[in-house]
Every structure is written in structure tokens, then in C-alpha cells.
Amino acid sequence: IPKGIVEAVRARGDEALVEFSEKFDGVALTADQFEVSQAEIDAAFDTVDPALIASLKKAHANIQYYHGKNLRQSWEETLDDGSTIGQRVTPIESAGVYVPGGKAFYPSSVLMNIVPAKVAGVATIIMVSPPSYNGTIHPAVLATAKIAGADRVFRIGGAQAIAALAYGTETIPQVLKITGPGNTFVTAAKSLVRSICDIDTEAGPSEVTVIADTSANPRYIAGEMMAQAEHDEEASSVVITTDARHIASVPKAVEVELETLSRTEIIRTSLANNGRIIVARNLDEATALSNLIGPEHLAIYTENPRAILENITAAGSIMVGHNTTVVWGDYIAGPNHILPTGRRARFSSPLTAEDFRKVSSVIEFSDERVQALGPDVIAIATAEELTAHARAVEMRQKD
């Protein structure tokens, strides 16, 4: 149970981590073996295919470029009476990044978590990942940590890793924000510690909605559905189309493609459980339904996708036009693939560098402004019966 795990790590630190690593990951570690040394990281980097390293570096550059575009700036303005107002934008001091392990490994998650934090200027970035690859972390994940610039890496996973980042242990430093996807135990643990430190989101199963018309290629639609479905059996793949022929053509395309894919059974189960093809009367209706769903990913496969885009109000990431599969955003386009799920796109946003920064408001009053606005504040504070508030201003008023 995540709550018990979190409380145990909070109370017993490294001792609990040793216990849970053996219990859940089947790996016997001592506390001095938690951290992956720089020598191990360098050695792992050297074992990875240079072509993959080159691709990861290209993705890194694109993600870095994109996230550098949306940073707020500090500002200060001097008013006519000599007072100043403004804001200071500063990075949080530390962040913890969770990278899933298990049957699969996700170097793309390393980039999507660490790069925005680096762009934001976070001083210390700690990466944790389960010791699920021969008792350690997959070489491609370690190599990507080096490319992205993780400061320290620990082979600890699950809810216990989240607790360690939130509370700190004798070996693992406490951080101010935790990001990164994980299983239901990891997600639950993040929810439990969010009063101690910030988290990115409580991520649910992956989702895609496709808006299509008669110009859409059934094979492309099928590809979009399958790409989401292969994440896990709970993933959601919804098509909203004005072309009723897609009811037959898309499943047929799925069957053809499934013959050569590696996670066929997961895809079949996911599409059977959560795959839907909805026929809309027109594209306005399709757009309205998509906004109601508020999907994590939205692909617009229509003759004039820009016209649809103008009316989209709720989607984590929007893919415009037939060339633009969601997969571009998963890996290399630049925007983050850590996105709001479970209809949260109606009120929340993808992970950005701004999520690793904070704003402080700045106020400096001149003598003139103290005298000009004092009576107004005294009147409001007195009306609220907060007389100490009023007094703090009165003592600065000149007779």
C-alpha cells in the first residue's frame, strides 16, 4: 500500500529503501549502492549505439529550444510617485525526476523531465529509476541522463523512490518538486507527498482523440489509435469522424498493421476496452465533442485542420494535419510529452520550464504613495475589523 511505503521511508529512511528494493524489485542493495556512479554512467554511455546517441542528442536540442521559448521574465516598473512594483522569477533549487523501469525503458522520459528543469535553471536535479535491468538502470536511460544533465542518479524505484525524494533519506537528498510518469503506486505516492513538495501531475492512462473527415487516411487513424493503445490496456483511443466509412476502414487497417507489431495483445485489449469510433454530423459537432473530452493528445486529420485548431479549447498537445502523428511529440518535436490526462486538459497544461520556476512579487512604496493610499487601506482594513492592519498603515501616516 503506497501510504504504508511512504510512511516507512519517512520514518526509517535508507533502511526502508533497502527493504523495499529487495521486496518489490528483487534486488539486494545496501545504501552505499543506491547511487549510480559517474564511472558507471560513462561506461553505460559507451555501450549505447552511437546512432541512438545521435538521435537522442537531436531530440535534446529540439526540446531545449522549445522550452527556452516560454520563460517568463522578471520585471520592475517605477511609478510616477517613485514607488516600484514588479516580479522576480527564480528557479526552484532542486527537482527529482522519476523514470519508469520494468519491462520497458524510456530515455524519452529522461529528456522530457530533465531538459525543462535545466532550462529553468534548477541547481540540483536528482534522477531515480528502478533497478530493473540486471540490478541497475538500462544503459540507454543512463546515457540519456548524461546527455540531459542529471546531477545525481539513484537506482531506486516505485512509491519508495517518491517518498525518498519528498522527505530525503540519509543517502538521497530531499527535493522541492517531483516530476515524471510511473505506475499506479508511483502516482498514488506523488499524491500523498504533494503537501511536502510540488508534483507535476497525477498522470492517468495515455489518451488520444482524432478528429477526421473524408480526407483522412484510415491507415493513419489506425496508426494513431495503436500508438496510444500499446502503452497499456487502459489507454484510450477515440476517433470522431464525419466519414461513416471509417467505422469499417479503420478497424480493417488496424488488423493489417497488428500482424507486424510487438505489443499486439496489449493493443487488442486496449482498443476493445477503450477504443471508440464516433460519427459526428459535422466538424463543428466533432470539435465540440473533442473539447468536452479534453484529451491528452489531439490529432486533426481534416482537409483544413487550421480551421479546426481555431476552435479547440481543451487538449494537452495538438497535432495539426495528416503529417503530424502524436509520436512526433512523444520524442523529438520539442514540446513536452508530459501532458494532462483524465480530462485535465480542460484546466491544466503540459509540463514546461515554467513549472520549475516560481514568482515573487516585489513592492516598494515611496513616501508620496504611503500618504496617498494610506487612508484607503485604513478604511478597508477597518471595515474588515482588522485593526492591526490599519494601525500598521496609520503609524506611517504624517500628521
pLDDT tens digits, one per residue of 4-41 = 999 999 999 999 999 999 999 999 999 999 999 999 99
pLDDT tens for residues 75-96?
Answer: 999 999 999 999 999 999 999 9
pLDDT for residue 103 is more than 80: no
pLDDT tens for residues 150-209?
Answer: 999 999 999 999 999 999 999 999 999 999 988 889 999 999 999 999 999 877 889 999
Provide mean pLDDT across the span 349-371. 96
Q: Cβ(169)–Cβ(139) under 8 Å?
A: no
Q: Which residues are catalytic?
A: 296-297
Residue 371 grid cell? 500618504
The whole-angstrom distance between residue 75's C-alpha and the CA centroid of its chain comes to: 27
> In the prediction, which pLDDT does 203 show?
79
Q: Cβ(398)–Cβ(371) under 8 Å?
A: yes
Residue 386 grid cell? 482588522
> In the prediction, which pLDDT does 232 show?
87
> In the prediction, which pLDDT does 63 show?
98
pLDDT tens for residues 240-250?
Answer: 999 999 999 99
pLDDT tens for residues 277-293?
Answer: 999 999 999 999 999 99
Burial of residue 354, with CB atoms counted within 10 A of its CB: 0-12 exposed, 13-18 middle, 19 or more buried: middle
pLDDT tens for residues 217-228?
Answer: 999 999 999 999
Q: Cβ(210)–Cβ(127) under 8 Å?
A: no
Tell me if the pTM is above 0.75.
Answer: yes
pLDDT for residue 104 is more than 80: no
Give first-to-last CA distance, the chain, whole Å: 65
**Which amino acid, one-letter code, is at 112?**
M
Dihedral sign (CA 26, 28, 31, 37): negative
> Who's near 355: CB < 8 A, 6+ residues apart?
116, 120, 177, 179, 200
Which alpha helices (DSSP H) does 92-134 contain, by range? Answer: 107-120
